[in-house]
Structure 1
Amino acid sequence: MAYNENSRETHMTRAELTAAVADQAGLTRVQAKAAVDAMLQSMCEALKTGDEVRLVGFGSFSPVKRPAGVARNPRTGETVKRAATVTCKFKSGDALKALLNGQ
């Protein structure tokens, strides 16, 4: 995992995830990269079509529509129009919550 000095948090990069998958699944790095890329691509395509992606025990990803509106520039106080967007929401599963909380 890499250390980000700005946020003082650790994070896992795609390359590190691929290496971990390769080690745990007994795959080559090339095979693991193909598997990780295929999984992420499949998830993105499902979310783009409006489907929810559920990984039992891990969590659920679901697309969320945000309507257009008015926002405020915090530096100038000026109001600006914000376009409607679609983003993704993640809800962790019970097994992941238990793991994170040491249960």
Structure 2
Amino acid sequence: MTKSELIARIAEQNPHLYQRDVERIVTTIFDEIAGALARGDRVELRGFGAFSVKHRDARQGRNPRTGESVEVTEKAIPFFKTGKQLRERLNTGGDEE
């Protein structure tokens, strides 16, 4: 599902809201999650999962094409861990709404 499909589905399920308002809400939620991760905070959505940032240290890598050693800089990687309810829903095949 893409962001635009998500917006369309939410707008369809909430006919009292304009699609442009739903788009603003969804964009705001995503922006807040991204902002929290950029600050190094953890974002937990109960029943869905938790977003966090993992840090990878700088290391010596290898170019697979040439075999030459290259310096890989330190980086922050977004990480998502599913919540128990989401895992159970995926594993039982349930489509509860």
Q: If the length of structure 2 is used for normalisation, what is the TM-score?
A: 0.86
**Whole-angstrom CA distance in 2 between matches of 1:40 and 1:22:** 17
Aligned to 1:55: 45
Write out the 4+ residue segments of structure 1 that deviate beyond 6 Å after TM superposition.
none
Aligned to 2:58: 68
Unaligned runs of 5+ in 1: 1-11
Deviation of 1:21 after TM superposition, in Å, equals 1.8
Deviation of 1:90 after TM superposition, in Å, equals 0.4
Between the two proteins, the alignment pairs up a number of residues equal to 92
- Which structure is higher in RCO with an 8 Å CA cutoff and minimum separation 6? 2
> Secondary structure in 2 aligned to 1:50?
coil
Q: Match for 2:2 among 7, 13, 21?
A: 13
1:14-33 matches, within 5 Å, as 14-26=3-15, 27-33=17-23
Q: If the length of structure 1 is used for normalisation, what is the TM-score?
A: 0.82
Deviation of 1:96 after TM superposition, in Å, equals 0.5
**Whole-angstrom CA distance in 2 between matches of 1:55 and 1:85:** 25
**Whole-angstrom CA distance in 1 between matches of 2:13 and 2:75:** 37
**Whole-angstrom CA distance in 2 between matches of 1:67 and 1:25:** 45
Deviation of 1:52 after TM superposition, in Å, equals 0.2
Unaligned runs of 5+ in 2: none
- RMSD between aligned residues: 1.3
Aligned to 2:27: 37
Deviation larger for 81-90 or 23-32: 23-32
Paired-residue identity, %: 39
